Structure formats: C-alpha cells, structure tokens
Amino acid sequence: MSRPLPLHRGVSGMRNLSNSNDFWDSEVKDKTEKEDLDRNRASDQSYLSLRFPFRLLCPDNSPSKYGITENGFASDPFSVGSPRSRHKLTVLFLKLSLVVIVILALTGSFWWTLSISTLSRGHIFHGYRRLQEQLVLDLWDIGELSLGASRMKEIDFCPEESENHIPCFNISENLALGYSDGSEYDRQCGQGSRQSCLVLPPVNYKIPLRWPTGRDVIWVANVKITGQEVFTSGSLTKRMMMLEEEQISFRSASLMFDGVEDYSHQIAEMIGLRNESNFIQAGVRTILDIGCGYGSFGAHLFSKQLLTMCIANYESSGSQVQLTLERGLPAMIGSFNSKQLPYPSLSFDMLHCARCGIDWDEKDGIFLIEVDRVLKPGGYFVWTSPLTNVQSFLRNKEKQKRWNFVRDFAENLCWELMSQQEETVLWKKTSKKNCYNSRKPGSGPPICSKGQDVESPYYRPLQNCIGGTHSRRWLPIEERPTWPSRSNFNKNELALYGLHSEELNEDTTDSRTAVRNYWSLLSPLIFSDHPKRPGDEDPSPPYNMLRNVLDMNARYGGLNAALLEAGKSVWVMNVVPTSGPNYLPLILDRGYVGVLHDWCEAFPTYPRTYDMVHADGLLSLETSQHRRCTMLDLFTEIDRLLRPEGWILFRDAAPLVESARALTTRLKWDARIIEIESNSDERLLICQKPFFKKQAM
C-alpha cells in the first residue's frame, strides 16, 4: 500500500489519496478539478471561520480531515496548527464578530427608541436593579466556590464549653488585654470574636413549656445555674424563685412583704396612681429594668400591657439575662460601665433599678447622666437600695454621704424627687428644657453640644453632658397618646422622623398580609411537631410554642404592630441594622422595644434565646454594603440565637433566597422555598432548626 501523498500548498479542498489510479490524466479533467477546487476553497474558508472558535474551546485528538504531512503538520493554510493560519483565522473571526455586534447594536438601539415610554421606565429600572442583585450574588457565589469543595461540607458542632458562650464577651481575655474598673464586662467585638461552629444545647435540654405556664416555670437543665446561686442570691426579684428537682418556678405573688405584686403596687402609689394597672394612663408603656434579677418585675407587668426590657452584665453562670430569656421575656446583655447603651435618646418611659448592683455615686454621676439620656421627658426613675433607707443613715455616715451625692446630683439633672418609702425612691425627669438653663452656674453637668448629642449612639463612650435636648422628639410622656393609640402616628408626627404616611401605611399593609401568611403556613407544622394532649382545645398561636420573635430588619416596626393587631401575645425584639436607615426612634416611640445592631457582630444575648427569627430584606441590605462578613457568618449567628426546633423566615429577592437555601444544608436546617403570589420577584424561605441532643458522657 502506498502512503498518502502530501497535499499541495494553497489547496483548500480535501482529497484522500490511496493509490496511483486516483489521478486524472486528461486536460479536461484537470480543468474541471481546478474549477471545483476554487469553489471548495470559498466554502471551506466560510466553514472554518465559524468552526474555529469551537475547536479552540473543545479540542479533540482526532486526525485532521485535511490530511497530515510526514512531519506531522497540516499542510492546509487554515489549519489550527500553523501560527500564520491561526493569525489569519483570528483576524477574520474578529472582523465578522465586529460586523455582527454593530448590526445587533443598531437594531437594539432602534427598537429601544421605539419601545421606551413613561410606563416602561419603571420596569427597565426594576430589571436593571435585578441584574445588579444577580451580579452581586454571582460574585458572592464565585467567591464561595473558589474556596473549594471543602467549604460546602456541614459545619461542625462547637465544644461543650461553648454551650452558653457569647462572642464579644470574654472577661478573662479582657482582663489580659488590660481592661479593668468594670470595663472588663463590656462588649469587645474584634475580628476573632466570630463563632464558626454550631452551638449544641446542654445534655438534658428540653423544649420550653407553653406560655403562659412557661413564663413562670422553666427547666433547670436549660440554663447554667447552681442551687447555691439560687439560694444565696440577695437580689429582691432573685429571691422569688423555688428550685425543684427538674424545674425552677417563679412566684409572681409572694407572701413576702416585698413580693412583686406588692412592690409594683407601691411604685404606682408613689406616682399617685391607684395601682400598677394605671401605669398606662400615666403615660408609661416601656420600662428599662437595670439588673433585673430574673425578670419577675417584667413578668408581672407583662399582663398589664407594659413592656419591660431587662439588661444586666454578662455572667458566665447564674445569669439574670439568661434566666429571664428562658422565661420568654425581653432581655439582653448591657452595662453602664463605660459605654452608652445602644438605644436612642429619649427611649423609655421608666427606668427601674432594684438592688441592681450599680453604684450611682461613682465616676462623678456619669451613670445617672446615661439614665437621663434614655429616659423620656416626664419619665420616672425608680431606685430600690439599702443605701436609700433613712434609718441606716444613723448608723453609717458613709452611706449618708453617698445618698446625699445621688440626691443632689439628681436635682441638678432637673429631676423631681416625688416620693421616698423605705428603700425605694422615685424621681420624675423634667418635661421642660428651660430647667437646665435656670440652674445655678457650675451646678450639675452641662448640656451636650449639638455635635455631642448623637440621637442613636452605637456603644459610644459615656458622655459627661446631658443629651437629648436637641432632639425634635422631646415630648413629655403625659402629652403623648396612651397605649395602644401611641403606636399610630399622624402625618405631622411622622414628619419628625423623615417619614411619609404613605410609607408607613404600605409597610403596615404588607406586614398584616405577611403575618396572616406566616401563621397559616406555620400553625399546621407546629401542631404536627407538638401534638396537643387528648381533651385539650387547639391553642391559637403563639400560645402553643412562640413566645418571642427576633426581627432582624425591623424597618418601622410593622411586624410588631401586625402581630399585636392579630391578637398574638408575642413580643418582638425589633433590630435596626447599622447598615441601613435608622428608624429605631420611631419604633421605640410607638411603644415597642428594639436595639441598634451591626449584624457582622454577635448579638448581645445567650444561645437559644428566640423562638422565631424574621429577616425581611436583610440579605439585600447586607449584600449592598461593603461586607466584613459572609452570609455564612450571619447564618451561624442566627443558629446560635435560635432555640432547638425554632423557625427562621427569610423574605428577599429570589436569587438571594436561592443562595441562602443552598447554605441551609451546611447548618443542618430543614428548609423550603415558598413563592409569594403578590410579588414574583421575591421568595419566602422557611427553615427550622433541628433538635440535636448531646449525648451524656
């Protein structure tokens, strides 16, 4: 068999030469072949110019149909193996591509000009925004995928010592860094404070009891406390609890002379009211309880439609905040040691301190200045302490000196001493700004300048000046509508917050619809997980399981308002992210509780705090910022905050929800995506945290 002959240079046609009989001898045949080859050259050039890009992207190892020479190189000038041919083919391809692009651009521009109109501009802008969101999401996914397949594995569980751990609160580490004089208890959030594992519950953890029973009885295994800590506690409200074999029961009505009911009744009488049920008529709705014991004061007032936020220092064991939260009551870690609280000025109607452990006479009264900042005009400060007992002055001159300082300092803050009974003192903050200017020169702290008077500080150092006086929200509590009317604002009132009535009405309508949808979706699921006992009536949510909700992007407090309107006896922690617009002053003025927070940092609470977490638009908000954290960091923190079998609701743009759904498998959450009929651009992601039981060693 004869070997194939090399193709002549310049011939674009293709011939398979197998033997000498394949050659044509006549001149007529030669002429005919030349014409055929010329025609084939034109067609092959066009074919190769289209095929070339795919050959580059998808190369194969099959022999070229154009023939191979003895040296192994293709003799065809358009062969991919020749540098010169590749150059020619590339130039040709670029020319053709340029022509196509120009034609498409002109055509698109022509149709754009014809089709654009006033009605279509909104759709165009909306589509452009969706493209931006998709671009951000794609970049995020690329970044996650670039880290390799190891990033897609499930997250490990934390070690046992982390079951009550709170990032940003590490007393021993703070002491090692040189913090002292009380600042070691402060929140210190650094890059190393994030937790990249899933917190397991204690060994004998049990799902909390239903409300209202669960408000007065908790499982002792769910919290970190010893029997010794229960019985040796000296706090007024801490003593009102009994330790049984597996449970801790809190007595809201004790036979002790200082029972919570008698105590709150005493405070009402000191204001001039018949009893605590009349607090609302006096303009009191929200109360900040400092060093709250185990929340008995707030638990009693909750039935009176009063909302009490408990704050206390971080404690590794026997925590006031942890036990209060386990009862399902509002609480968070906060201290007066060195930083301002993350609440706006003029936030609360009453501040309460019953043997709270704060020495108000220290640091030149700067703690009292912070009390004055967060207290509304005309609000009340209640202090119960052995230091205020007049009888003790006769035996201890040092106590008398300290009491005199607090009394005189309060007077220089323009507080009116309304009443003093036994160990309890009650002051009323002034309702008139001109009181500060009428003080004697040099008496009391100065008024903050406009630059110092920040309305919503975020853990800023304590200020030695009177704040809130520059706020447009300065309005005495007795002049505000009483609860629940105060949750509704007219057009002029909303203008103080830079808000239009249409915006609030739209948010209210959306929230009402959302609450109806959430409850219709969740109620069957809750009852299927926790069947009712025989003979029990179907309790309406949230009496079955839901006691509290963490709203991670509260906006105007619409979800809180909708839950109350629907008759749900559930309280909401309204969180306003630092990365978005700040309407926290509006939320607090409506009679709700809330806090400012950066979601790239750990929330100041213990693990297993909330029954439900709600995040509407949070993913879009966080992805639009220059993030210091990832979506996985955010989800890990949510898992820490949520109790076992708790629920998470994400409502956001469809691409972001799809991305979030992919992450839920890493956290071992059960998840499903629900389409929202009223808005095809958004999706609802419903997740449930499983109950992983730790095995006893």
- Within 10 angstroms of residue 59's Cβ, the number of other Cβ atoms is 9
Local confidence band at 545 (pLDDT 50, 70, 90 cut-offs): low
Q: Please say if the pLDDT value at position 681 is more than 80.
A: yes
E strand residue ranges, 146-285: 217-219, 241-243, 247-250
| Best CA proximity match to 435, nearest among 378, 365, 363, 477 | 378
Helix, strand, coil percentages for the chain (3-state, nearest 5) = 40, 15, 45
Q: Please say if the pLDDT value at position 107 is more than 90.
A: no
Report the pLDDT value the prediction gives residue 174, as an integer from 0 to 100.
67
Q: Please say if the pLDDT value at position 38 is more than 70.
A: no
Local confidence band at 546 (pLDDT 50, 70, 90 cut-offs): confident
- Grouping H, G, I as helix, E, B as strand and the rest as coil, residue 497 is coil
Report the pLDDT value the prediction gives residue 624, as an integer from 0 to 100.
82
Least confident of 40-49, 128-137, 211-220, 226-235: 40-49
| Best CA proximity match to 169, nearest among 190, 197, 196, 145 | 190
- pLDDT averaged over the chain? 78
Local confidence band at 582 (pLDDT 50, 70, 90 cut-offs): very high
Whole-model pTM: value is 0.76
Mean pLDDT value of segment 313-325 = 87
| Best CA proximity match to 339, nearest among 372, 370, 368 | 370
Q: Which fold has domain 485-530+539-689?
A: Rossmann fold (3.40.50)
Joined together, the tokens standing for residue 583 give: 């309407």
Report the pLDDT value the prediction gives residue 583, as an integer from 0 to 100.
97
Local confidence band at 75 (pLDDT 50, 70, 90 cut-offs): very low
Given a contact cutoff of 8 angstroms between Cβ atoms, the answer to whether 220 and 227 are in contact is no
Q: Please say if the pLDDT value at position 298 is more than 50.
A: yes
Mean pLDDT value of segment 496-512 = 95
Mean pLDDT value of segment 141-162 = 66
Tell me how far apart the alpha carbons of residues 661 and 650 are, in angstroms, rounded to a whole number.
Answer: 10
Joined together, the tokens standing for residue 426 give: 């009650």
Please, where in the chain does CATH 3.40.50.150 lie? 264-437, 485-530+539-689
What phi-psi label fits residue 124: left (phi over 0), alpha (psi between -120 and 50 degrees) or beta? alpha
Q: Please say if the pLDDT value at position 371 is more than 90.
A: yes
Tell me how far apart the alpha carbons of residues 128 and 130 are, in angstroms, rounded to a whole number.
Answer: 5
Cis peptide preceding 484, ω within 30 of 0: yes
Mean pLDDT value of segment 51-72 = 35
| Best CA proximity match to 268, nearest among 424, 477, 389, 390 | 424
Distances (CA, A) of 373 to 289, 293, 448, 481, 574: 15, 23, 11, 22, 20
Q: If residue 597 lies in a helix (H) or strand (E), which one and from where to where?
A: strand 593-597
Output phi, psi for 376, to 5 deg: -70, 155
pLDDT, tens digit, for every residue of 216-237? 889 989 998 876 666 555 444 4
pLDDT, tens digit, for every residue of 378-402? 999 999 998 888 777 677 888 889 9
Contacts of 191 (CB under 8 A, 6+ apart): none
Tell me how far apart the alpha carbons of residues 566 and 515 are, in angstroms, rounded to a whole number.
Answer: 8
Q: Please say if the pLDDT value at position 324 is more than 50.
A: yes
Given a contact cutoff of 8 angstroms between Cβ atoms, the answer to whether 447 and 465 are in contact is yes
| Best CA proximity match to 580, nearest among 643, 625, 520, 528 | 625
Given a contact cutoff of 8 angstroms between Cβ atoms, the answer to whether 77 and 10 are in contact is yes
Local confidence band at 172 (pLDDT 50, 70, 90 cut-offs): low
Report the pLDDT value the prediction gives residue 169, as an integer from 0 to 100.
81
Mean pLDDT value of segment 407-414 = 96
DSSP string across 611-672: EEEEEESHHHHHHTS--SS-HHHHHHHHHHHEEEEEEEEEEEEHHHHHHHHHHHTTTT-EEE
Given a contact cutoff of 8 angstroms between Cβ atoms, the answer to whether 420 and 271 are in contact is no
Q: If residue 376 lies in a helix (H) or strand (E), which one and from where to where?
A: strand 375-384
Local confidence band at 84 (pLDDT 50, 70, 90 cut-offs): low
Tell me how far apart the alpha carbons of residues 312 and 298 are, in angstroms, rounded to a whole number.
Answer: 14
Local confidence band at 25 (pLDDT 50, 70, 90 cut-offs): very low
Least confident of 46-50, 209-213, 457-461: 46-50
Report the pLDDT value the prediction gives residue 527, as an integer from 0 to 100.
53
Contacts of 26 (CB under 8 A, 6+ apart): none
Tell me how far apart the alpha carbons of residues 436 and 446 are, in angstroms, rounded to a whole number.
Answer: 8
Angle of helix 501-529 relative to helix 558-565, nearest 10 degrees? Answer: 60
| Best CA proximity match to 294, nearest among 348, 225, 350 | 225
Report the pLDDT value the prediction gives residue 497, as an integer from 0 to 100.
95
pLDDT, tens digit, for every residue of 624-674? 876 678 899 999 999 999 999 999 999 999 999 999 999 999 999 999 999
The 3-class secondary structure across 379-436, one letter per residue, is EEEEEECHHHCHHHHCCCHHHHHHHHHHHHHHHHCCEEEEEEECCEEEEEECCCCHHH
Q: With the CA atoms of 411, 362, 397 and 353 taken in that order, what torsion angle do they form, in degrees rounded to the nearest 10?
A: 70
Q: Which CATH architecture has domain 264-437?
A: 3-Layer(aba) Sandwich (3.40)
Between CA 292 and CA 300, with CA 297 as vertex, the angle to 5 degrees is 150
Given a contact cutoff of 8 angstroms between Cβ atoms, the answer to whether 509 and 613 are in contact is no
Q: Please say if the pLDDT value at position 58 is more than 60.
A: no
Q: Please say if the pLDDT value at position 78 is more than 60.
A: no
Report the pLDDT value the prediction gives residue 531, as an integer from 0 to 100.
46
Tell me how far apart the alpha carbons of residues 341 and 595 are, in angstroms, rounded to a whole number.
Answer: 9
Report the pLDDT value the prediction gives residue 167, as an integer from 0 to 100.
87
Q: Please say if the pLDDT value at position 209 is more than 70.
A: yes
Given a contact cutoff of 8 angstroms between Cβ atoms, the answer to whether 694 and 201 are in contact is yes
Mean pLDDT value of segment 122-138 = 46
Joined together, the tokens standing for residue 546 give: 């839901």
Higher per-residue confidence, 15 vs 413? 413
Contacts of 254 (CB under 8 A, 6+ apart): 240, 260, 261
**Percent of residues, the chain, with pLDDT higher than 90:** 50
Q: Please say if the pLDDT value at position 19 is more than 50.
A: no
Report the pLDDT value the prediction gives residue 348, as an integer from 0 to 100.
98
Mean pLDDT value of segment 117-123 = 42
Report the pLDDT value the prediction gives residue 658, as an integer from 0 to 100.
94
